[in-house]
Chain A
Amino acid sequence: MPSPVIEQIQGSRCPQCRTAVVPPARFCPWHPVAMAPISLAGLGEIVTFTTLHSPPEGFRSPLHIALVELQGGARLVCHGEATRGIRIGSRVAIEAVDRVYYFAHLGALDRARLFWRRAGRRGERLEAIARSWAKRLWKGRGRDTGE
């Protein structure tokens, strides 16, 4: 079962085309533009996966490898304990163990918990926006700064 704490994964984003990559890179792969550091939540979807039966030296067989697309767009390659029940499109949580990323399948309960937590956060954000609008109106300044 995944840890209840959502892992934060360090990456970088291109200020020009918004491409996000993990791990952080100096330049965008598509432009000679310096990337800005970002932090991405360790939640995503399985893009594809394989089980390697003759892995290179230093890895145990069978070696489960997945390509995961994180919320926010970056894709990362990670390991898994098993691929049973995993499909393309499966929702997974990413955990770092010893600076190595692992994917864990999110069950229905985990998904529900994460949904409510996100919904909760969204609720808080809406409340904050409403409060700031009220404050501005009260001060007689109606202009939205976009933040």
Chain B
Amino acid sequence: MASVWISGAGMTPFGRRPQSLPDLMADAAGAALTASGIEVPDAIVVATMNPEEFLGEGNFASRIATHLGFAYVPAIRVETATSSGAAAIYTGFTAVASGAARSVLVVGGERMTHLPTPRVSEIIGRSIDPYERSYGATMPALAGLITRALMARSGLSAREIAQVAVKNHANAVGNPYAHFRAPVALGAVMTSRLVADPLRLFHCCPISDGAAALVLTASRAAVRIVGIGQGADALAVRHRQELTSFRATQAAAKAAFAMAGFSADRVEVAEVHDAFTPFELIALEDTGLFPPGAAGRATLDGETALGGRLPVNPSGGLKARGHPLAATGIAQVVELVWQLTGQAAGRQVSARVGLAQSIGGLATNNFVTLVEAS
């Protein structure tokens, strides 16, 4: 297997954006290509979760390739619900590692804010098991069920869950690409309105527009993908053997660390899928970065803050950087590349190895990616 390097990274600011999705993707792709010095990639992998419903457009790989002026470059669209961006990296990685391509442009994005919130929730909710959906289960509802079980089982406190939001908002203050750049106080999080008891509004990520891109190459660059893994679980939450940890993350992490040939103690910065703040704590334990039951206390103690032992979500995470679905998995790795190469002014940490974890659906199709500065 050939080494796969990240030779360029770029993204648009996340939030409520005026541009169309093809234009957002063009901006992100343009930035990544410029950084890589590659004019025309051998192949393109496009990630969008649902342009058919959000935008009424299909055949999106060709749509983007043509829009970028790469009408002759072969393009594929990849979709695994909310981890589509990470799945696109995985697809691009395998293309370069196998020798099928020398350079791949991976670009993902979503445009959602033009639709009313109930409509957006309904479209995202289609990634839930149809029977559970017929009972009104939305992503926040399932996350609420999991959070209550987690709090009862591990003794995780409301303060620990709220502190994740406080930390990630504080981190996003220094990130010019973030959706929210204002800090929030612990009390404000803990008294925000209930969405899906015990989850409150400030425990949940926003609806955002945006795009992110990477250029993966067989030629040497500043950062290398040293491990990447995918993990799966049953679509239906009721079928899960475990409710309070995600088997899909555990399997993805195991595969990624096996490929990298090192363990979690080498990781010095992490970007994890905090669509709901308790999910950050679950992710930290599922990936082995913290022992079971320890992530909540560590967060309260500041261990995962920017100046802590292991900074987590220095970008602000999904919670504060925003979550334009298929852009997110790529944006996580963009942030890691910037952190590892000293381009994260305002939120810079000192790290050589980074981990990204992305959740597809309600943790049915997850990815873990490990990157290392060369």
* CB-defined contacts of A58 to chain B, threshold 8 Å: 136
B196 in contact with A67 (CB, 8 Å)? no
A23 in contact with B136 (CB, 8 Å)? no
A50 in contact with B131 (CB, 8 Å)? no
In the complex, the chain A residue whose C-beta lies closest to that of B131 is A23
Cα A58 to Cα B118 in complex, Å, equals 11
Most A-side CB within 10 Å, residue of B125, B144, B146, B243 = B144
Interface residue? B237 (CB, 8 A) = yes
* CB-defined contacts of A55 to chain B, threshold 8 Å: 136, 138, 141
Interface residue? A15 (CB, 8 A) = no
Interface residues of B: mostly helix, strand, loop or mixed? helix
Interface residue? A138 (CB, 8 A) = no
B118 in contact with A53 (CB, 8 Å)? no
- Which candidate, A31-39, A71-79, A119-127, A129-137, is the interface stretch facing chain B? A71-79
A51 in contact with B197 (CB, 8 Å)? yes
Interface residue? B2 (CB, 8 A) = no
B234 in contact with A47 (CB, 8 Å)? no
B148 in contact with A49 (CB, 8 Å)? yes
* CB-defined contacts of B193 to chain A, threshold 8 Å: 53
125-156 of chain B: CB within 8 A of chain A: 125, 131-132, 135-138, 140-141, 144-146, 148-149, 152
Most B-side CB within 10 Å, residue of A21, A50, A55, A79 = A50
Interface residue? B258 (CB, 8 A) = no
Number of interface residues of B (CB under 8 A): 31
Count of CB-CB pairs between chains A and B under 8 Å: 89
Q: Interface code A39-61, partner B: CB below 8 Å = 1, 0 otherwise?
A: 00000000111111111111100
Q: Interface code B175-205, partner A: CB below 8 Å = 1, 0 otherwise?
A: 0000000000000000001111111000000
Given contacts A51-B197, A67-B237, A75-B239, contact A56 B118 (CB under 8 A): yes
Interface residue? B40 (CB, 8 A) = no
B239 in contact with A67 (CB, 8 Å)? no
* CB-defined contacts of B132 to chain A, threshold 8 Å: 77
* CB-defined contacts of B52 to chain A, threshold 8 Å: none
Cα A76 to Cα B140 in complex, Å, equals 18
In the complex, the chain A residue whose C-beta lies closest to that of B198 is A50
Interface residue? B219 (CB, 8 A) = no
B239 in contact with A21 (CB, 8 Å)? yes
Chain B nearest CB, measured from A77 CB (Å)? 5
Interface residue? B121 (CB, 8 A) = yes
Most A-side CB within 10 Å, residue of B132, B152, B239 = B239
Chain A nearest CB, measured from B132 CB (Å)? 5
Cα A100 to Cα B132 in complex, Å, equals 12
Cα A23 to Cα B193 in complex, Å, equals 34
Interface residue? B53 (CB, 8 A) = no
Interface residue? A107 (CB, 8 A) = no
Given contacts A48-B149, A59-B136, A67-B238, contact A53 B243 (CB under 8 A): no
Chain B nearest CB, measured from A47 CB (Å)? 7
Given contacts A29-B236, A67-B237, contact A52 B149 (CB under 8 A): no
Chain A nearest CB, measured from B134 CB (Å)? 8
A77 in contact with B149 (CB, 8 Å)? no
Cα A100 to Cα B131 in complex, Å, equals 11
Interface residue? A112 (CB, 8 A) = no
* Other A-B pairs, 20, CB within 8 Å; known A53-B194, A59-B136, A65-B141: A21-B236, A21-B238, A22-B238, A48-B145, A48-B148, A49-B148, A50-B199, A52-B138, A54-B195, A55-B141, A56-B122, A57-B118, A63-B136, A65-B136, A67-B238, A75-B238, A75-B239, A77-B238, A88-B148, A100-B135
Please name the 3 residue pairs, one residue from A and one from B, whose CB atoms are nearest each other, closest first.
A50-B144, A48-B149, A75-B238
Q: 23 interchain pairs (CB within 8 A)?
A: A23-B131, A47-B243, A48-B148, A48-B149, A50-B199, A51-B194, A52-B140, A52-B196, A53-B193, A53-B194, A53-B197, A55-B138, A56-B118, A56-B121, A56-B125, A56-B138, A57-B118, A58-B136, A63-B141, A75-B239, A77-B137, A79-B135, A100-B135
